[in-house]
A and B are shown apart, each in its own frame.
Chain A
Amino acid sequence: MLDTGLGAILLFSYLTAPFLVIFIVLVLLSLRRGRSREGVAQMSLTRAAEVAWLIGVGIVWLTINLFSIPWIPWLQAGAQQTAVDGEAQVVQVDAYMWGYKITPMEVRKGPVKFVARALDTIHSLAIYTPDGRLLTTIMLMPGMREEVTIVFDREGEYVVRCLEYCGDGHGYMYSKISVVG
């Protein structure tokens, strides 16, 4: 779940909402201390809190970065295996204002290597699963060719959309790929 866009945003909410609550509580406490006659707070406790905070941040930092390594497209197990075996089906994609030429438009389940380019301006090749989840998005810049291998493990119609603003028809730029058994 964490390797999806929705998972990322849920994690964002779970981490930042408590942070904001604690931050605001501490600001309110600071304002109360500002009105009271108490003296300067104990420095030694604050130093301990500083070390604890920085260690905590370091642990979150390291954990997320290590966890995210397998989600990098070119390091995903299926894609790596395919690169070794050379078994992927190949789909050529030409993106243009405001459509796609996809050849072929029907593939079998398993690894598929997309070879994509933009013909006129920046576009993207964003592939959505049949239930509407964004599987991956690739930016396409004119003059460059991008290759990415995706392992399709479900049959169905996968919607393809452009996520890079490319002019008046950007909102209408989409196509479909069928994945069959």
Chain B
Amino acid sequence: MRVEDLTDYPRRMVLASLFWFYLGGVAGITMLLLHLTRLSTPPLYYQLMTLHGFAMPFGGLFQLMMGLSLLRAGFCYGKPVKGRIVELSYILLNAGMLLILLAVAMGARTSYTLMFPLPASGALRGLWPLEAVTVLVWGVVMVVSVIVALYPAALARLIFTGKTQEALVLERFMGTLNPSGMASMLPYIFIIPPVGAAISLAAIAIGVALLGLVPLSSVGWALQSLNFNYPFWIFAHNLMEAMGVMAIGTVYWLVPRYTVREQGETGVRTLFSERLGLFAIVFYSTAAIMAFPHHLFTMPTSQPQGLSYTGQIASWLTGFGAAFSVFNVLATSYIFGLRLTPASLAAMLGFAVYVADGFLAMQLGTIGWAYRLHGTYAATAHLMTILLAVTLIWIGALYHSFQLLFGRPENRKLAYVHVVATAVAALGLLYTMAAMGGLGIPRRAYPLPITDPATIAVLTLFASILAAGQIAFLTQLTRPKTAKT
């Protein structure tokens, strides 16, 4: 067994994720410049918006998470990260993203949330060709099949099956409860396949009908907007929550590895409380399952009021899960002392951004406030920040495994620039967009009907800081192996 058996696919996934991050990032900055200059027509802007929306969370963040979580499970359990399922996950995710890119190039501009039935009504109205919708749907089917089936299967296979090969065990578990860091992968494995099954079937049925293999009328059930949007939000909401839980687990994993002192006489470094960590993960994941109705609060007649109340209470209970984690993480670092490294800094800053954004998420998950904020930039602020926070935490995991993945240590200065710029930009974008949302500025609108150029300039400034951080990372990757660390 070679270390390459652990690192080959994770490295490919990390590098492919960078491609999608950079492509999505260029689209995002172009969107801001178009707002500043008003040089574009709406179709071009909305094509960029759709590309940005698909590339950042799926091609970028999801793929980064997939690579690094498989690597972590691999080197903790001593099992190679390879085989058909891993290979297919990598190929299908990127092939699906390429199909989505092709669909956007063909004119599809549905946004990444699809806004169903917009793909169909847009085609009927002649905004984009039906062929673009077919390509888009099959791209989505491929990406979703990785998210719902292949990736959780690959993770489950690493954790539950096969024999440990001591040569591949690079990090021993620490803690007493099969540590909470690794336990955070379980909600993904057990929650995402069932909650994603319905929307996957609907997408496949629509895709098959679009290819003409069955009459469109036979999939009428999937084409009704309420039938589509409930399974969609049950899936999309829980996907984001499962990614968040896995990110919190990553903080639980990373922080004890950078503490200075050992706990008691056992000689291991653990969280302040492993039990509280495990409890937080179970509590958070369970509450999150029923929080999805907050996406549809603003349908006062169609959504049963009881479902809305459940959504509000569940949304706020996830906040409790986060509160347990805040205490545990800070207590761990304070009690045992923390070593400053790019990995520990990224994990801590990413976690801070995650929690700050979490309060906005709970506000959007409050029925009374949702009627004043839904559909505004406040919602964009929340979504974008949670993705940036989770990305930052995974950047911590990336620096933790940098030597293993790339065969040389990272340059510390460049790494700090990367981490700090990403954190500052995330907070700057969060507060600026939240303020825009408070003023009622509609999201996903071009041209923006109510705003002043200064606000867009501030957004552009923070987006540029974000871009500078990513350029620092690109410089890091392209440095010669012999360069100074």
Contact assessment for B116 and A122 in the assembled complex, using a CB-CB cutoff below 8 Å: yes
- For window 315-362 of B, CB contacts with A under 8 Å fall at 316, 319-320, 323-324, 326-327, 330-331, 333-340, 348, 352, 355-356, 359-360
User: Chain A nearest CB: distance from B251 CB in Å?
Assistant: 12
Stretch at the interface among A38-46, A80-88, A101-109: A38-46
Q: Does B111 contact A (CB under 8 A)?
A: yes
A54 CA to B296 CA, complexed, in Å: 30
User: Chain B nearest CB: distance from A132 CB in Å?
Assistant: 7
Contact assessment for B367 and A72 in the assembled complex, using a CB-CB cutoff below 8 Å: yes
A27 CA to B337 CA, complexed, in Å: 9
User: Chain A nearest CB: distance from B154 CB in Å?
Assistant: 34
Q: Does A148 contact B (CB under 8 A)?
A: yes
Contact assessment for B375 and A144 in the assembled complex, using a CB-CB cutoff below 8 Å: no
Contact assessment for B359 and A15 in the assembled complex, using a CB-CB cutoff below 8 Å: yes
Contact assessment for A27 and B338 in the assembled complex, using a CB-CB cutoff below 8 Å: yes
Q: A34-B337, A57-B320, A138-B299 are in contact. Are A23 and B121 (CB under 8 A)?
A: no
Contact assessment for B118 and A168 in the assembled complex, using a CB-CB cutoff below 8 Å: no
User: Chain B nearest CB: distance from A169 CB in Å?
Assistant: 7
Q: Does B372 contact A (CB under 8 A)?
A: yes
Contact assessment for B43 and A168 in the assembled complex, using a CB-CB cutoff below 8 Å: yes
Stretch at the interface among B23-31, B164-172, B442-450, B458-466: B442-450
A50 CA to B279 CA, complexed, in Å: 14
By beta carbon, the residue of chain B nearest A68 is B368
- For window 101-136 of B, CB contacts with A under 8 Å fall at 109, 111, 113, 115-118, 121-122, 125, 127
Q: Does B474 contact A (CB under 8 A)?
A: no
Residues of chain A with a CB closer than 8 A to B231's CB: none
Residues of chain A with a CB closer than 8 A to B117's CB: 121-122, 142
Interface residues on B, range: 35 or more
Residues of chain B with a CB closer than 8 A to A180's CB: none
Residues of chain A with a CB closer than 8 A to B121's CB: 97, 120-121, 142, 167
Contact assessment for A144 and B127 in the assembled complex, using a CB-CB cutoff below 8 Å: no
Contact assessment for B330 and A26 in the assembled complex, using a CB-CB cutoff below 8 Å: yes
Contact assessment for B323 and A53 in the assembled complex, using a CB-CB cutoff below 8 Å: yes
Q: Does B312 contact A (CB under 8 A)?
A: yes
- Size of the A side of the interface (Cβ < 8 Å), in residues, is 85
Contact assessment for A8 and B340 in the assembled complex, using a CB-CB cutoff below 8 Å: no
Contact assessment for B356 and A20 in the assembled complex, using a CB-CB cutoff below 8 Å: yes
By beta carbon, the residue of chain B nearest A27 is B348
Residues of chain B with a CB closer than 8 A to A41's CB: 334-335
Contact with B along A146-175 (1 / 0, CB 8 A): 111000000000000111111111111010
Q: Does B271 contact A (CB under 8 A)?
A: no
Chain B CB within 10 Å — which of A128, A133, A137 has the most? A137
Contact assessment for A34 and B305 in the assembled complex, using a CB-CB cutoff below 8 Å: no
- Main SS class of interface, B: helix
User: Chain B nearest CB: distance from A167 CB in Å?
Assistant: 5
Contact assessment for A146 and B300 in the assembled complex, using a CB-CB cutoff below 8 Å: yes
Contact assessment for B226 and A143 in the assembled complex, using a CB-CB cutoff below 8 Å: yes
A20 CA to B116 CA, complexed, in Å: 38
Q: Does B7 contact A (CB under 8 A)?
A: no
Q: Does A29 contact B (CB under 8 A)?
A: yes
Q: Does A92 contact B (CB under 8 A)?
A: no
A153 CA to B226 CA, complexed, in Å: 34
Contact with B along A69-84 (1 / 0, CB 8 A): 1111110000000000
A65 CA to B371 CA, complexed, in Å: 15
Q: A137-B371, A170-B444 are in contact. Are A53 and B46 (CB under 8 A)?
A: no
A146 CA to B378 CA, complexed, in Å: 23
Could you say which of A5, A61, A139 contacts B373, with CB atoms under 8 Å apart? A5
Residues of chain B with a CB closer than 8 A to A26's CB: 330, 333-334
A139 CA to B359 CA, complexed, in Å: 23
A130 CA to B118 CA, complexed, in Å: 31
Contact assessment for B298 and A23 in the assembled complex, using a CB-CB cutoff below 8 Å: no
Residues of chain B with a CB closer than 8 A to A10's CB: 438
Q: A54-B327, A65-B316, A74-B305 are in contact. Are A31 and B338 (CB under 8 A)?
A: yes
Contact assessment for A171 and B445 in the assembled complex, using a CB-CB cutoff below 8 Å: yes
Contact assessment for A162 and B442 in the assembled complex, using a CB-CB cutoff below 8 Å: yes
By beta carbon, the residue of chain A nearest B374 is A137
Stretch at the interface among B58-66, B175-183, B427-435: B427-435
Q: Report the 5 A-B pairs with minimum CB-CB distance, sorted nearest first.
A: A163-B375, A71-B368, A9-B438, A134-B440, A34-B337
Interface residues in chain B, defined as those with a beta carbon under 8 Å from any beta carbon in chain A: 42-43, 46, 109, 111, 113, 115-118, 121-122, 125, 127, 224-226, 229, 259-261, 263, 272, 296, 298-302, 305, 312-313, 316, 319-320, 323-324, 326-327, 330-331, 333-340, 348, 352, 355-356, 359-360, 363, 366-369, 371-376, 378, 427, 431, 434-435, 437-440, 442-450
15 CB contacts below 8 A, A to B, read A4-B438, A5-B440, A8-B363, A12-B363, A20-B352, A20-B427, A41-B335, A49-B327, A134-B372, A138-B371, A139-B299, A141-B225, A141-B299, A165-B115, A167-B121
Known interface pairs A34-B339, A40-B263, A57-B320; 19 further A-B residue pairs with C-beta atoms within 8 A, sorted by A's residue number:
A13-B434, A20-B427, A39-B261, A40-B336, A41-B334, A72-B371, A73-B300, A120-B125, A142-B117, A143-B224, A144-B299, A146-B302, A147-B300, A161-B442, A165-B444, A167-B118, A167-B127, A171-B442, A171-B449
